[in-house]
Amino acid sequence: MLNIEELLIKIMQILDFDMNDVKLKRTLEKRRFFNKELSAEKYREHIELILEKLSLDTKNNQLVDIFIDLINLYIPIYQKLNLIKFGATQKKMNWVILKRLVIPYLAKRLSSLDYDYNSRIDKGLSGGRFWYLPDITDYPNIKLPMEYIMNWWVDLYGKNLDSLCDELDNNNQSESKAFESKNTIKQWFKKSIPDRKSIEKYCSIPIRYVGYFKPNVNDTLNIQFQKAYTFVVETKKLSIDEIKHEIPYNSLVDKVFSNESISKDEKKEFVRFISERWEVPTKEKLISIFIIARGSQSIYENLLEYFAFEDSSDIEENKLLQLIYLYFQLYNENLQRYLHRVYKYDEVDIFKTNYEYLDVLNNNFLEIVTTISNDIGIELSNQNFSKTYLEDIYQIKLNVFLQNKDKRAELVSKQLK
């Protein structure tokens, strides 16, 4: 298993950071960092620096605490597992840790953070989509993060991709030789991952956005509300379900599009959500979002290669998709628990994914470490599978197959023809 220092260094490399930029400047400090001699305070310092480089607001320290707490859980579990000789490969151990600890933990903690809209770190993006992960909502198609962010950018720009590229070229004030944007930018829609300098260069060029929404402060509330409604329905041509993917308030959307009366506060909320979702991004935000997207996509591709999974939309050939489905399910389940103040499942639900992967994290620290270590140990010791076999997340496979049985039947029918 990777230790914490190796993980942090790998993340810095994936995000295309210069190690000097994250204050690993002195030879002694570099040696101590690589040789695992730094204290827990250094973990926090470097996580804060990584988030700062991503232009993420860490004033309330919640995001930093999430990753520090994960490290504090990972270390004793790592130590416990190292004391036992399992007949399993390193890849198998890392796979089990991802699905038993890392993914459930992040789903639970990040959903808790997003419960408070005002503390969300991704305002301006689709509040109902996991834009920072491969999008698997349109089964069996997959959209990678860079493709989503490019669509988001072009939509805010308000014209087509060719027009965006032309304006980027026309407004380029660089003293160096003028560059041609089209070939470069169009590759961002595909699986080409841009480097950090390329992102900073293109995202720093000023362009004129026309696809945004900004309420006129001189308008009455009713006029602002009507303009916001017209913007999403007529200008953006979004359905009710599509709007729910964009703003994180389903009950409000349902009310707006029904015949129910709407209060002044609800109208204000609707106008605010629409204006924040379709707000003109600053240069800093644009760079940050693209850096996060490229980092996430790079991690996904690195894990595909590491585990030797097929780059496929089939969850049996590409088991990384099982992790993504697991994250989606646990995130949404935990968010619903926060909304309804429910924190434990009844015993009748003991065989559900939520019980096995989510409820364990409601215990105290020592119980979490003990339970997850035991669960990992049991899976690694399972004699029914070889030491290299990466076991499926069976509940997720079953859920995905049941939810998409009609689409799967249609695909099989096409393949047989």
Q: Is residue 399 part of a domain?
A: no
Task: Of 388, 392, 386, give the one whose Cα is nearest residue 318.
Answer: 392
- What is the arithmetic mean of pLDDT over 364-389? 89
Residue 74 confidence (pLDDT) above 70: yes
Q: Is 205 within the bounds of a domain?
A: no
Sign for the pseudo-dihedral over CA of 355, 361, 366, 371: positive
- Position 105 scores a pLDDT of 95
Cα gap 196→88, rounded to integer Å: 37
In a domain, 323, yes or no: no
Asked if residue 258 belongs to a domain, the reply is yes
Peptide bond into 215 cis (omega under 30): no
Q: How much is the pLDDT for 350?
A: 41
pLDDT for position 347: 45
Total domains present in the chain: 1
Cα gap 8→43, rounded to integer Å:
8
Give domain status of residue 387, yes or no.
no
pLDDT confidence of residue 353: 63
pLDDT, position 38: 54
Of the candidates 283, 285, 302, the residue with the CA atom closest to the CA atom of residue 13: 302
* pLDDT at residue 54, rounded to an integer: 77
Q: Tokens in use for 329? A: 């399910």
Q: Which domain holds residue 245?
A: 221-277
pLDDT tens digits, 198-243 = 999 999 999 999 999 999 999 999 999 999 999 999 999 999 999 9
Model confidence at 124, pLDDT cuts 50, 70, 90, reads confident
pLDDT tens column, 135-169: 888 878 889 999 999 999 999 999 999 999 999 98
Q: Residue range 338-354: average pLDDT? A: 55
Band of the pLDDT at 247, cuts 50, 70, 90? Answer: confident
Pairwise pLDDT comparison (104 vs 7), residue with the higher score: 104
225 lies in a domain? yes
- Side-chain-side CA neighbours of residue 373 (13 Å): 18
Q: Residues of 252-289 as b/e, b for ≥16 C-beta within 10 angstroms? A: bbebbeeeeeeeeebbebbbebbbbbbbbbeeebbbbb
pLDDT for 218 equals 97
Given a cut of 80, whether residue 395 has pLDDT beyond it is yes
Residue 36, pLDDT above cutoff 60: no
Tell me, yes or no, whether 242 lies in a domain: yes
Of 48-62, 250-264, 315-329, give the range with the top mean pLDDT.
Answer: 315-329
Is residue 145 domain-resident? no
